[in-house]
A = this chain, B = another copy of it.
Amino acid sequence: MTFSLTVLGSSSASPAKNRFPTAHVLNIHERFFLIDCGEGAQIQMKRFLNIKCLKFNHIFISHLHGDHVFGLFGLLSTLDLMGKTNTLHIYAYKDLEELLTVYRKHFGENMNYDIEFHPVEPYEHYTVYEDGNITVETIPLKHRVPTCGYLFREKMPPLNIYKDAIEKYNLSIADIEHIKKGHNFITAAGQEISNSEFTYVPYKARSYAFCSDTMYSETIIDIIKNVDLLYHEATFLDDMRDMAQQTGHSTTKQAAKIASKAQVRQLLVGHFSSRYNGNMLQQFTKEIQSVFQNANIVNEGETYVIPLIKDKNKNKNKSESAN
């Protein structure tokens, strides 16, 4: 029941020495979701991830700036080379569709898999994807072009039932199935017993919010409230607030302030301007941690695991985990 994030790139638009642009791979229960696909993403996958690219069936693009999308076309060709046959779903602002069409015309006429394009409305907060395990919501961001982040939420897992309650009430298989769906139990004598007497949430549903690129925007706080892991861009150190504002980006302390106000569990920042070399990134760590303690800068290639927290307390947790 993995829930982990591997960061493949940490640079912003101008190429920085030994840094790659944005691409994040989210592993949820061994299904892989790619978020943004900067140039060289597939090279970084080859370097850091022991997965075959063809496991990707869903790619989410935040916005159409080159450092978030120019690795996509190479990856699409590689997926074909590697034998992909099932449909690839791409979620992005509508303009990407024309690029995909021209790409396919010149590079992918004989590709062995289909691409289904899902236009995303970046100014609205809504569920853009859902399956049995997760939902993905848009996070409207404030950048120079239409941009949204993505919030991945594990669905609340099925309720587990206390063994001693089965014995105590002599429950049948049918009773158990009924109770596991969240219903209360009616005894033979007609007494209604609350579902919470029988069940517990086996673990807390986990969540990851990806917010890049954006200037400081408090409107996202309600959306990302209490997430386990927040990635928020921090292109600049805090003395560059004016530059951040002008270019539609955030500073270290702004990112950390969002994390603090949203009461997230952990913050990662990235998308560093090329003006900062490797050593200067220590200052990023210092500044974010001065505002929000459980915060770090991303390391390219590192995998950040959101642990599965088992919790056998009665299903009072249900409401928490659904936040």
Q: Which residues of chain A have a CB within 8 Å of any CB of chain B?
A: 13-18, 20, 39-40, 42-43, 45-47, 64-67, 70-71, 73-74, 77-78, 81-82, 95, 98-99, 102-103, 105-107
CA distance A1 to B214 in the complex (A): 47
A15 touches which one: B78, B99, B103, B107 (CB < 8 A)?
B78
Residues of chain B lying within 8 A (CB to CB) of residue A98: 102, 105-106
A16, A42, A64, A82, most chain B CB atoms within 10 A:
A42
A66 touches which one: B14, B16, B64, B74 (CB < 8 A)?
B74
Residues of chain B lying within 8 A (CB to CB) of residue A43: 15, 20, 39-40
CA distance A254 to B77 in the complex (A): 27
Please, which residue of chain B has its CB at the minimum distance from the CB of A39?
B74
Known: A64-B106, A70-B73. 8 other contacts (CB 8 A): A13-B77, A14-B78, A15-B46, A18-B47, A39-B39, A39-B71, A39-B74, A66-B73
Please, which residue of chain B has its CB at the minimum distance from the CB of A82?
B14
Give the 7 A-B CB pairs with smallest separation, nearest first: A40-B40, A15-B46, A66-B77, A39-B74, A70-B74, A15-B42, A102-B102
* Least Cβ–Cβ distance between A9 and chain B, in angstroms: 10
* Least Cβ–Cβ distance between A78 and chain B, in angstroms: 6
Instruction: Check B99–A106 contact: CB distance below 8 A.
Output: yes
* Least Cβ–Cβ distance between A113 and chain B, in angstroms: 16
7 A–B contacts from the bound complex (CB under 8 Å): A39-B40, A39-B70, A39-B74, A65-B107, A67-B74, A99-B102, A99-B103
Residues of chain B lying within 8 A (CB to CB) of residue A71: 39
CA distance A230 to B82 in the complex (A): 31
A17 touches which one: B15, B39, B47, B82 (CB < 8 A)?
B47
Instruction: Check A13–B102 contact: CB distance below 8 A.
Output: no
Instruction: Check B102–A106 contact: CB distance below 8 A.
Output: no
CA distance A13 to B108 in the complex (A): 14
Residues of chain B lying within 8 A (CB to CB) of residue A67: 74
Residues of chain B lying within 8 A (CB to CB) of residue A70: 39, 70, 73-74, 77
